[in-house]
Amino acid sequence: MDNQENKKRVIIIGGGAGGLYAGWRLSQKGFKISIIERKNFLGGLGTSIKKDNCLMDIGPHYISVNKNSRIFNDVLELLGENGIRRLPSVESFFKSFYKNKISDSSPKLSDVMKNDKNSVIKKLFQNTFSKMNSKTKSSEEYLISLYGKMVFNSLCKPVLIQTYGEIPPLEITEKLYEPISVKKIVNYVNKNQKKNEFVQNSSTFSCYFKNGMGSIIDIFEEKILGSGGEIILDAEIKSITHHEPKTIQFVKDNKIFSRTSEIILYSIPLNLAIKWFNDSPNNLDQKFDSDHISNGILVYLLVDTPKLFDGWILDIYDLTIPFFRITQQTFLSSNVAPKNKTLLCCEMRARDEDKFWNMEDKLLFEETRTNLNKIFNLDKIEIDELLVLKLKNLYRPQYYKIKSNDMEISQYINSFENEYALGTTTFSDTGDNPTRLSHDDESVQDDKPIAYGGFYNSLFRSNQVVEKMLSENK
């Protein structure tokens, strides 16, 4: 298969990490690769944006891998040990801003009790000897009846909004906060703060790529192009013919193009891929309630100081500040920005109708500067405005479950000869929980789920499909 014309052709729809990994693997086996990507850049949310000598990750990213997997060996092969920074304890890099202070842990009920002992104890005493009002209609009423207005406003409300982006429905809140003793509440709060942390074990290797998370995307691109493949960006697919020869028609620069191949891989959200199958079952349409989905606004700044706080991510528990999280991206690697500068990413949640979503970049930079000064004293420090990035449907509360038809869609796509569904995250977060990265369970060890994260799982799923495809195309 050395002759380019004799190579079996593969078209991969989607240029995210999973699609690029599959393209790299298949190019090593002698396939001619074409990747068609709708955006004008590769990597999806796993890339790093280059500007003014900065490599800006789209939100906070790192990767955890199973050291016993092929993915681990592939990452080491591609980046080398010098291109990776191992992260032995990711949780220690998280900080919290609460009550005008930066601390190592999230706010707890015990902190509030120090300032309002009488009110909290009185409420707990009342709850012990009385039943909750069955006419309670909202989460706010319920929490105030448990702890009083002061505790609700100073603790419950900022914790819930920081964690979920909104105050959850009553049935969720009742499970989170029960009318129980001080001891049990404190135990719950302590436990609740840890619920999203990794389950670490000897087989887990967590790391950050020293030249930004997008550095592996650049390597995939270089390897695919170097093997004679092609990558087509900013292309909108219009139709796909599924019989031989498989033909994809797409529009780029207002012109219609086509590509033919023997094999097609779908490395995009599968609910989007189904539209290219004319006779697909109606029940595969996937709908969601946009009222529970928030857009994301990411504001990037370069601050003329080596470090603003001793950590990577600062969770904001202050409702007067519009962004809920600050990522100090230079904390994990000094290679992503000029020396002795701090690369910051400030994240806001916003709905379509919110003022921030419709605000011009210049005003968003001003708003970000103003609110940063509530946390840090930056009056005499030079700040360069780098980029404002607005992303649709970025966050959803973890309690809001979306009925996924991915398995059924995948089976349907795979029923077509030489067509394979890689799939990807249906809604692009940082994941199920907006205050932490996406940790999807890939396996279970010693009866405990091992969370490796969305980046690893994307490569893991691609590897499974590539192995299946190679076995069928020997």
In tens, the pLDDT along 277-318 reads 988 887 776 666 667 788 999 999 999 999 999 999 999 999
Q: Are the C-beta atoms of 47 and 213 separated by less than 8 Å? A: yes
The pLDDT, as a whole number, for residue 135 is 62
Whole-number average pLDDT of the chain: 84
The pLDDT, as a whole number, for residue 115 is 59
Burial 317-351 (b: 16+ CB within 10 A, else e): bbeebbbbbbbbbbbbbeebbeeebbbbbbbbbbe
Is 130's pLDDT higher than 60? no
What's the pLDDT band for 357 if we cut at 50, 70, 90? very high
Distances (CA, A) of 260 to 92, 133, 364: 50, 66, 45
The pLDDT, as a whole number, for residue 450 is 52
Mean per-residue pLDDT, 343-370: 95
Bond from prior residue into 245 cis (ω within 30 degrees of 0): yes
The pLDDT, as a whole number, for residue 197 is 43
Report which of residues 309 and 124 the model is more confident about: 309
Angle between helices 17-28 and 215-226 (to 10 degrees): 40
What confidence tens digit (pLDDT) does each residue in 143-155 have? 988 888 888 999 9
Give the separation between CA 17 and CA 140, rounded to whole angstroms: 42
Give the separation between CA 174 and CA 168, rounded to whole angstroms: 10
Token pair, residue 207, equals: 């790391």
DSSP per residue, 338-364: STT-EEEEEEEEE-TTSTTTTS-HHHH
Of 272, 221, 250, 206, nearest to 424 by C-alpha is: 272
437 DSSP β-pair partners: none
Residue type, 92: S
Give the separation between CA 98 and CA 110, rounded to whole angstroms: 14
Token pair, residue 93, equals: 């890099």
Q: Are the C-beta atoms of 158 and 166 separated by less than 8 Å? A: no
What confidence tens digit (pLDDT) does each residue in 374-393 have? 999 888 899 999 999 999 88
**Tokens 């001003």 correspond to what residue?**
366
DSSP per residue, 156-222: IHHHHHHHHSSPPPHHHHHHHS-S--HHHHHHHHHHHHTTTS----TTEEEEEETT-TTHHHHHHHH
What's the pLDDT band for 269 if we cut at 50, 70, 90? confident
Is 190's pLDDT higher than 70? no
Mean per-residue pLDDT, 76-105: 92
The pLDDT, as a whole number, for residue 434 is 30
The pLDDT, as a whole number, for residue 117 is 53
What confidence tens digit (pLDDT) does each residue in 29-64 have? 999 999 999 999 999 888 999 999 999 999 898 988
Report which of residues 286 and 272 the model is more confident about: 272
What's the pLDDT band for 90 if we cut at 50, 70, 90? confident
Mean per-residue pLDDT, 100-108: 90
What confidence tens digit (pLDDT) does each residue in 434-448 have? 323 333 333 444 444
Is 257's pLDDT higher than 50? yes
Give the separation between CA 379 and CA 364, rounded to whole angstroms: 18
The pLDDT, as a whole number, for residue 201 is 59
Q: What are phi and psi of 296, to 5 degrees?
A: -120, 140
Give the separation between CA 347 and CA 395, rounded to whole angstroms: 11
What confidence tens digit (pLDDT) does each residue in 163-186 have? 888 899 998 898 888 775 555 555
Is 347's pLDDT higher than 90? yes
Of 368, 390, 452, nearest to 58 by C-alpha is: 390
Is 407's pLDDT higher than 90? no
Mean per-residue pLDDT, 126-136: 54
Is 429's pLDDT higher than 50? no
The pLDDT, as a whole number, for residue 330 is 97
The pLDDT, as a whole number, for residue 187 is 59
Token pair, residue 369, equals: 């500067």
Sign of the four-CA dihedral 166, 167, 172, 178: positive
Sign of the four-CA dihedral 60, 233, 249, 461: negative
Model's pTM, two decimal places?
0.86
What confidence tens digit (pLDDT) does each residue in 197-212 have? 444 557 889 999 999 9
Is 196's pLDDT higher than 70? no
Describe the chain by its helix, strand, coil percentages, rounded to 5: 35, 25, 40
Question: In which element (H, E) is residue 471 found?
Answer: helix 454-472
The pLDDT, as a whole number, for residue 448 is 44
Is 3's pLDDT higher than 60? no
- Rounded percentage of the chain residues whose pLDDT exceeds 90: 57
